[in-house]
Amino acid sequence: RRLARALTIEDLRRIGRRTTPRAVFEYVDGAADRERTAARNVAAFESAVFVPEALNPVRDPDLSTTLLGRKIALPLVFGPTGYTRMMHHEGEVAVARVAARNGIPYALSTVGSSTAEDVRRAAPDGDNWFQLYMTNDKPLNRKLVDSALNAGFGTMVLTIDTAVAGRRLKDVRNGLTIPPTLSLRTFLDMSRFPYWWFKKLMTEPIRFASLEDFPGSSADVAQRMFDPSLSEEDLVWLREAWPGKLLVKGILRPGDAKRVIGLGADGVVVSNHGGRQLDRTPSTLEVLASIRAAVGDDVPVLLDGGVRHGQDIAAAVALGADAVLSGRAYLYGLMAGGERGVSRALQILREQYQRTLQLLGLDATAKLSGAHVHL
């Protein structure tokens, strides 16, 4: 089968590009403005240099690690992505199932197209996280937090790099805006994928995460998720309201990492939103070491942006991350083949990661250090 022949995430991307309407593919693949940050994330990983240890026999390396007090199968998390049912009708629940089956966490987005309850039902044993966009609508924030609590989610991820929406030019040109204003070209392109649309129409209408009874259209909801007034007070409120683990996503400065830990966060996600928000930031890999140094060894530090290969996971861990989040890599799999495509993406990343440890002469994730990778 086509998926089995895909050997790399890049192969899955090519299949996804052929099987998905262009506006949808470009929504996933694209980034803000001139897409410099997105390219820089990938380039940083490609410039990482691996230095192996000699004569260490490694038959069956232990890929697992401990994150937020729980053991996970490898240092990888499926990160939050909005509107995932637009990429494939199976959407979030497919991603959650693959994550649970393989022992890694999955973070449902506030603007996900399935509810927290849908995810709980699909993956009752999964390590399910909820990604929160906070607005100045306090009852809405409370409702979102409660929905994650009621669905038994253990970890909350507060995303803080969306004061306003990044300018994603491809989406604007494709008419993938809110509200949608499809151009003739986009409409014609979408009509080339009748099967894709048939599947979409045959499945339930898209619902926003936990917002079934929220008044207003989907468009209103998404519009309200970007909030220029987000401040420290909101983090303090959330720390009070949320009894579980709390991560802050969107940190690029050592001082900010220290500040949010001081306000009660349990850890940080070093992230530039995959280059989809502010363009021309540093890559996440290049700021990682300074952030790790600022918070010390005991605070969980995760990283995302540009992970396309198992070697990228190894590089990030060696340079100070406890784990990485993946966005586009699993979405390419989802577009290429639904749940099986997501499985394939994970299998590719895991095999690449395992081979990297073995060729480095390391028998466990815990052995990766700055002695094995430099930029």
Binding site for ligand FNR (CB under 6 A): 27-28, 41, 79-82, 109, 111, 131, 159, 249, 271, 273-274, 276, 304-307, 325-329, 331
Does the annotation place 82 within a ligand binding site?
yes
Nearer to ligand FNR, 312 or 362 (CB): 312
**CB-based contacts of 278: which residues, under 8 Å, 6+ apart?**
32, 37, 161, 166, 272
Does the annotation place 332 within a ligand binding site?
no
Does the annotation place 19 within a ligand binding site?
no
Q: Which of 88, 273, 309, 372 is catalytic?
A: 273
Residue 201 exposed, middle or buried by CB count within 10 Å (0-12, 13-18, 19+): exposed
For the bound state, the minimum distance from the C-beta of residue 53 to ligand FNR, rounded and expressed in Å, comes to: 29
Alpha-carbon distance of 109 to 83, in angstroms, equals 8
Does the annotation place 168 within a ligand binding site?
yes
**CB-based contacts of 205: which residues, under 8 Å, 6+ apart?**
none
For the bound state, the minimum distance from the C-beta of residue 222 to ligand FNR, rounded and expressed in Å, comes to: 9
**CB-based contacts of 113: which residues, under 8 Å, 6+ apart?**
82, 83, 84, 85, 86, 91, 92, 206, 207, 208, 209
For the bound state, the minimum distance from the C-beta of residue 112 to ligand FNR, rounded and expressed in Å, comes to: 7
Does the annotation place 305 within a ligand binding site?
yes
Residue facing ligand FNR at closest CB distance: 327
Alpha-carbon distance of 44 to 48, in angstroms, equals 7
309 counts as catalytic:
no
Nearer to ligand FNR, 278 or 325 (CB): 325
**CB-based contacts of 155: which residues, under 8 Å, 6+ apart?**
68, 105, 107, 127, 129, 130, 244, 245, 246, 247
Nearer to ligand FNR, 126 or 274 (CB): 274
For the bound state, the minimum distance from the C-beta of residue 361 to ligand FNR, rounded and expressed in Å, comes to: 28
Alpha-carbon distance of 250 to 325, in angstroms, equals 12
Could you list the residues known to form a binding site for FMN, using ranges. Answer: 80-82, 109, 131, 159, 249, 271, 304-308, 327-328
Q: Give me the active site residues, please.
A: 273
Binding site for glyoxylate, residues? 27, 133, 168, 273, 276
Residues of the binding site? 27, 80-82, 109, 131, 133, 159, 168, 249, 271, 273, 276, 304-308, 327-328
